[in-house]
Structure 1
């Protein structure tokens, strides 16, 4: 029997089990109701919030992109550990306020908050478009990752394109059936599996190739065979200090629309604080997967395949078949736990924040339409891009963060600066997106600075200047977002 068959069977069984777990919550709530499908009826406690917020950040990027980047570029991959920690600090500050907005004003999405705050359906639609650019990039990362997993675990017998179609059908089945509730329940199961298998894989592979259960010998061996992997800009010279630092900065100021919706699904503000405080524990799963990539530096010296496959390939060649099967299932879990909320958020937000405000869908029909919107996003937009596989997983995600970071001035206007105006943030966003696109695809990261930071360098001053020159929102609108004493002290006429 070939060595891939039994691990592949485990991966298939896991996928079927995921579908069943994901479909079940839809039997307990009426998923034709807009709020039930979109934010699980705001019934999620701290445990489910913890797994969903954490699972959305631990993805195919973690199990494939991180080992691949460690193998090819070395310690540059540690930027992920830094920005994930900083993102949780931002989340701790704003997630309770997101729940407060939801309870006080029935605001369910990030774009809806922008539309209400800036008194403009155009702002609401523009923000949906900008956020969707990033979510599509991240969804492509996950679907490509799923394709790699099925392709490798099947011994190459299932081609990437077919693997991507199969996994999209699986995810579609439970997201369509149960919405955000399915994401929450599946994330709990996936989170436990990911955490356990990542730790086992790292310790097992370190021991097999160094004779030491600890990770110290691994880095000592790297220092002997390729010391360039232990310093910036790495052996390829691509991760300069400037690019490494600005990649951390753009990710830190990026607030994901799907994280916003996840927070909205929480029961109380205290639940959001507890979940966000604990999420860094979930993110520890990233470290052992980085270690797997570092082991690949000397264990896979002659590897010539795709960098994102190197960790899985090493596992398939070196670990017992039960562990390989669980590794494949864990990697697939990471990808699914991230792509499912993206699909759900895209469908919900475009229905809620574009089609309904502009009269393209009647309010009473939005519960039905939002579920159907999964089809064009998943199978018409994301699937073809995934089959094209435009770059490695880390590069695709970095491009996405450049776009998402341009929403930062809007976020400031919701949580910190009442004087921000719709004309200001729209002008800044248009300028920021234009600069980001040019510095991503035409003049790539000038001076080694991330294109998204260049976008913000132009976006933020334009937003501030134009806001100061234009009329602020009405006081009754600002009262929904800011405390009365703060408004009285900061802006007497706001």
Structure 2
């Protein structure tokens, strides 16, 4: 693949340019805000003062990660039109936010929440519940960060035709991400997210246009698929439909309670800013996952017969072919290169920042050193975050599964904290012991089913765990009954 447009020196130059651009933004952010007190709120939430524009793009760049571009087009290539569900579940994620985000935002301002566990601790006043929820969040965050690290390698290696090896790309961009995140915290992350979100939107749009011009549009790709792979055009059977809907529910709830997404709720300047940014987000599935889906379908005709492993680099192969057609598309694909890399980093940096906050504030300061200052908590979060990244780098050196499988796995356990938000915010009778038992039972059931590959009736194992979780939360709460005095106190604190 040495004849690809981004092979050789040009690919290395482009990678270095985008890497140092992110570092530049991080240093500028650090320099402008160096006089501010380094508190948890300032470092992890940007002072809780993100505007509509910045909040929208940090939501956007975080939700539409490298997996959306690098992983979803290959999934469409392999699954065909069944992967249209990816457009739907991004719409439903916004619905998931709206089920609890405005109410949670109001409480976060009232009680100065920094992490999701701050809310759980305030609402349920139980060390066991808070610790279990924090551990589930850590699992989901580590899983998600691993996914993004792998996406970095696939994306850059595919775009450069292997000139930049998978491992070299991973090490370089993870190092860049750690440096600017260390310097500026949420402000650096949010401002780089804005640049990265704009690059992603432009890059995906141009890739779609180039794909339609040089590989043929959706109609011709569909006709070609009907000839060589008619199963990719078929309507799912009853089991397929059940699996589809279970996936929609899993992602709608799971993605909405991402810890790094919840921290963006806390970081909003006002409730009006939060609602406006979410209303803008409702339109984004059509011009991101929708475009990527079409690109994957066109890829069936452009590069037929790819194996599962080879198809993971489909976007890079298509971008390189388009770039070699004329100078305009070459430079447009240069921007796409940055858009893909930026999309990956924009999610990874958000996850790493939240991962550090959970470790430092929810684990270290809450259970190990209760008298630790904000400055010490932040330092502990930074250092342990780096250690975890090194461990994940070792795992990602030879990735264990496709991006899609890694994407699904993290929801199975993370979703078990959903009752704490979906029930806890509105139902004062939710008992802390019932919640702990429900979360623990749901986690065990989902873990066993996920790792043994069991999905009865085609329903995701995480949803089976969540169903038992909800039933135990409701049933045991009715049986145990929250004392009237505690209900009255909760009425004052979380209403």
* Structure 2 length-normalised TM: 0.91
Q: Does 1:248 align with 2:272?
A: no
C-alpha separation in 1, matches of 2:332 and 2:370: 49
- Higher mean alpha-carbon deviation, 168-177 vs 306-315, is at 306-315
Structure 2 equivalent of residue 486 of structure 1? none
C-alpha separation in 2, matches of 1:18 and 1:31: 24
Give a deviation string over 1:97-131, Cα, whole Å, max 9, x none: 23211211112221111111001122222111111
Q: 1:140 to 1:479 in 2, by over 3 A?
A: same
**Which of 347, 350, 353 is the matching residue for 2:356?**
347
**Which of 133, 144, 156 is the matching residue for 1:127?**
133
C-alpha separation in 2, matches of 1:415 and 1:100: 11
Q: Does 1:316 align with 2:320?
A: yes
C-alpha separation in 2, matches of 1:158 and 1:196: 24
Give a deviation string over 1:62-93, Cα, whole Å, max 9, x none: 11111110111112222221111111122134
Structure 2 equivalent of residue 25 of structure 1? 29
Q: Which runs of 5+ in 2 are unaligned?
A: 325-329
2:215 alignment partner, SS class: helix
- Higher mean alpha-carbon deviation, 317-326 vs 420-429, is at 317-326
Give a deviation string over 1:125-156, Cα, whole Å, max 9, x none: 21111112122221111110101122223432
- CA offset at residue 251 of structure 1? 1.2
Q: Does 1:335 align with 2:344?
A: yes
Is contact 2:107-2:494 (8 Å) kept?
no
Q: 1:444 to 1:313 in 2, by over 3 A?
A: farther
Structure 2 equivalent of residue 223 of structure 1? 226
Q: 1:472 to 1:150 in 2, by over 3 A?
A: same
- CA offset at residue 405 of structure 1? 1.4
Segments of 4+ in structure 1 off by > 4 A?
none
Is contact 1:161-1:387 (8 Å) kept?
yes
- CA offset at residue 157 of structure 1? 3.5
C-alpha separation in 2, matches of 1:205 and 1:368: 46
C-alpha separation in 1, matches of 2:424 and 2:350: 23
**Which of 364, 374, 378 is the matching residue for 1:367?**
378
**Number of corresponding residues:** 476
Q: 1:114 to 1:480 in 2, by over 3 A?
A: farther
Q: Does 1:296 align with 2:299?
A: yes
- Higher mean alpha-carbon deviation, 446-455 vs 46-55, is at 446-455
Structure 2 equivalent of residue 379 of structure 1? 390
C-alpha separation in 1, matches of 2:41 and 2:378: 8
**Which of 204, 209, 213 is the matching residue for 1:203?**
209
- CA offset at residue 257 of structure 1? 0.9
Structure 1 equivalent of residue 431 of structure 2? 421
C-alpha separation in 2, matches of 1:370 and 1:152: 33
C-alpha separation in 2, matches of 1:118 and 1:220: 57
Is contact 1:32-1:368 (8 Å) kept?
no
Is contact 1:118-1:422 (8 Å) kept?
yes
C-alpha separation in 2, matches of 1:167 and 1:272: 30
Is contact 1:19-1:170 (8 Å) kept?
yes
Q: Which runs of 5+ in 1 are unaligned?
A: 484-494
Structure 2 equivalent of residue 408 of structure 1? 418
Q: Does 1:115 align with 2:121?
A: yes
Is contact 2:138-2:355 (8 Å) kept?
yes
Q: 1:226 to 1:180 in 2, by over 3 A?
A: same
* Structure 1 length-normalised TM: 0.91
Structure 2 equivalent of residue 392 of structure 1? 402
Is contact 2:429-2:482 (8 Å) kept?
yes
Is contact 1:195-1:282 (8 Å) kept?
no
Q: 1:477 to 1:61 in 2, by over 3 A?
A: farther
C-alpha separation in 2, matches of 1:159 and 1:203: 28
- Higher mean alpha-carbon deviation, 53-62 vs 411-420, is at 411-420
- CA offset at residue 482 of structure 1? 4.2
1:17 alignment partner, SS class: helix
Structure 2 equivalent of residue 97 of structure 1? 103
- Higher mean alpha-carbon deviation, 406-415 vs 299-308, is at 299-308
**Which of 278, 281, 284 is the matching residue for 1:279?**
281
Is contact 1:59-1:335 (8 Å) kept?
yes
Q: 1:247 to 1:9 in 2, by over 3 A?
A: same
- CA offset at residue 361 of structure 1? 5.5
**Which of 149, 159, 162 is the matching residue for 1:156?**
162
- CA offset at residue 94 of structure 1? 2.4
Counting only pairs closer than 5 Å after superposition, residues 10-159 of structure 1 correspond to structure 2 as 10-29=14-33, 30=36, 32-159=38-165
C-alpha separation in 1, matches of 2:447 and 2:168: 31
Is contact 2:434-2:472 (8 Å) kept?
yes
